[in-house]
Amino acid sequence: MNPPVSSNKNILGLCGWVLLCFAAASLGALCPPDEWYAALRKPSWNPPGWIFGPVWSALYTMMAVAAWLVWKRGGFAAQRRPLGVFLAQLALNALWTPLFFGLHWPGVAFAEILLLGLAIAWTITLFWQVQRAAAYLLMPYLAWVSFAAVLNGTLWRLNS
């Protein structure tokens, strides 16, 4: 068993994970939905735009807490692999918005979101081995990204 991290480091660690996750989220602000997206044909089950902010805020918060719970089990030294995979999926998460909304590449964004879903599933598997609560916190994220992948694929098909 890895030694626990001190309580001061715990608070700073949680703040660091929250800042990191929301920094990745903030990259999306550089490529907001534009006229291109507004003109796309969308399925009837496309969510309204107002839902994305609250959902993603909750998901990024849960992601940060999940990473922090794993990090508390010995820091990066002890949790290099699960936290490394977490960081890789976070990078994929940050990449999707510029691909879809910025470059208007729905096909590439669809392939990328499929990779993101696999990376999240891998992260959940690794987190499960360290801290089950952390794995549970990522499950709504995987569900939302899976829904987003289906939506992304549908938008690509409808507008190709």
Q: Which two tokens stand for residue 109?
A: 């964004």
Has residue 117 been placed in a domain? yes
Q: Which two tokens stand for residue 121?
A: 């599933």
Instruction: Let me know if 141 is exposed, middle or buried by CB neighbors in 10 A (0-12, 13-18, 19+).
Output: buried
- State residue 28's pLDDT score: 84
Q: What is the pLDDT of residues 83-115, one digit of tens each?
A: 999 999 999 999 999 999 999 999 999 999 999
This prediction has a pTM of 0.93
How far is residue 80's CA from residue 44's CA, in Å, rounded to a whole number?
Answer: 43
Has residue 68 been placed in a domain? yes
Has residue 2 been placed in a domain? no
Our count of domains for the chain comes to 1
Q: What share of the chain is helix, strand, coil (3-state, %, to 5)?
A: 80, 0, 20
Has residue 102 been placed in a domain? yes
Find all residues with CB under 8 Å of 90, minimum gap 6, and list them.
20, 21, 24, 63
Determine if residue 6 is left, alpha or beta; phi over 0 gives left, psi from -120 to 50 gives alpha, anything else beta: beta
Is the four-CA dihedral 84, 87, 93, 99 of positive or negative sign?
A: negative
State the residue range of the domain holding 89. 7-158
Q: What is the pLDDT of residues 31-88, one digit of tens each?
A: 999 999 999 999 999 999 999 999 999 999 999 999 999 999 999 999 999 999 999 9
Has residue 36 been placed in a domain? yes
Has residue 128 been placed in a domain? yes
Give the CATH number, domain containing residue 134: 1.20.1260.100
Has residue 1 been placed in a domain? no
